[in-house]
Amino acid sequence: MIIEFAAADAATSGSGLRLVARFVPQGELPADADVLVRGAAAAARFTGKAGQLFEALVPAGDGVQRLAFAGIGEPGAAGRTATLERAGGGLTAKYLTSGETELAIDFAGSGLSAEEAAAVLLAARLRAWRHDVYRTKLSDEQKPSLAKIVVLGAPEGTEAVWETEAAIAEGVEFTRELVTEPANVIYPASFVERCKARLEGTGIEIVVLGLAEMTALGMGALLGVAQGSVREPKIIAMRWKGKAGARPTAFVGKGVTFDTGGISIKPAAGMEDMKWDMGGAAAVAGTMLALAKRKAQADVIGVCGLVENMPDGNAQRPGDVVTSMSGQTVEVINTDAEGRLVLCDAVTWVQKECSPATIVDLATLTGAIIISLGHEHAGMFANDDLLAGQLDAAGKASGDKLWRMPIGPAYDKLIDSPIADIKNVGPRYGGSITAAQFIQRFVDKGVAWAHLDIAGTVWVDKPGATHDKGATGFGVRLLDRYVRDVLEA
């Protein structure tokens, strides 16, 4: 989706714009609108409430113009950003396959600030994202036609704000692309290559570890997961040094590019969804792209542990004991609890190599978190109250919402093993908590750490304000907001 800024009077200057949208605060129909249009809007009970849309045809030269009103609710109401995103995304959803190729958004009279206008544009662009690469039989009516948004009457400063938001959009779209691609297209090596291609020229430093390097480092936990697949595992580390001096912050993502469950194989029904078990790694990659594109003033490392979990004759067995890079031994009770095995070695590696002050890991880790929180929030576990508060605030500001969950010694003892230092699963209850406890055992003393279980938020079966059904890009906006509010403050 192209976003282009134009002169404020373009809608009435004979420029040929066929579709113009205006944003209407609740109870404030535009005074300069045609009296018949105002009457029609009133007759249709359009009042500018959040989420309302109204369309009319008005004369324009020798033809007609489609005029749309989008309600943005009361100016001082709570949840303002979410309301504006509904308006921007709603316009895109309505006209994406309408046959119109261009939508003019006229901010005149909306009363919005530059930041609020940019929020509308971000939602409009994100809602337009689709992945139709493999759909060869779409009719013309099904194909997206809307390719450009022309911005009219933008509040002062909107273009500058949009430059930053456009970088965020690019990061979210990249994450969605990685998550949506099938597992025969995105696997550890191709994930790395796609990241290299997208990050080329951004200034990000990239380090890639293959099987030989990880074997030499003693990453027995990660390698144990990968040994049942013909796909070689990888770790990709991406560093953006936008600021020197302080210890870096690390974002670590689980990248299981397909998860059969291994020997503890999953049921067949729904297993195709496990192509997005690398959603945490995709969010990290998208975040790094966004930070580099907007030239963030922060030192951030993104690390993705990439494996495929398959059940062949060489796959690890329930009951096997592996030695992690940290030296801790793990009894593998369930081979479908593989993500924590990948994360523990990735976390150990980034601590040894980069000595970060803070680590935030993201993982589609447990079905238990979906049972607890549904698809509205990701679960957050943290060893540091300040970090937890900062991430919670970033989630509320960005729309990638979090809910803090408990951790503690009572849960920790549930993963003690009788024959090794730790086992990779606890009892049936508290599954998302014991998974977090597992990862915490590999976090060095003094490092602020948070684990985000995003299993319920990376993929959805119904459209939202900023996304269609499918990949949401969850995590990119959250991490970027955290960087803005904490690391760049």
- Name the token pair of 5: 């800024």
C-alpha 20/C-alpha 484 separation (Å) is 33
CB-based contacts of 443, cutoff 8 Å, min separation 6 = 347, 351, 359, 383, 449
- Which candidate, 322, 288, 292, places its Cα nearest to that of 303? 288
Exposed/middle/buried for 219, CB within 10 Å: 0-12, 13-18, 19+?
buried
| 266 catalytically annotated | yes
| Strand ranges in 175-298 using DSSP code E only, listed in sequence order | 205-209, 234-241, 249-259
| Strand ranges in 247-316 using DSSP code E only, listed in sequence order | 249-259, 299-309
Set 340, 423, 481, 484: catalytic member? 340
C-alpha 167/C-alpha 49 separation (Å) is 30
| Strand ranges in 29-146 using DSSP code E only, listed in sequence order | 53-60, 63-71, 102-106
Q: Is 154 left (phi over 0), alpha (psi -120 to 50) or beta?
A: beta
For 2, 116, 119, 422, the CA distances from 122, given in Å and listed in that order, are 11, 10, 5, 45
Set 18, 49, 266, 404: catalytic member? 266
Run of H or E residues at 148: strand 148-152
Any idea what the Cα angle at residue 72 is, between residues 66 and 75, rounded to 5°?
140
C-alpha 255/C-alpha 263 separation (Å) is 19
- Which candidate, 220, 175, 203, 461, places its Cα nearest to that of 322? 220
Length of the chain, please? 489
* Residue positions annotated with a catalytic role: 266, 340
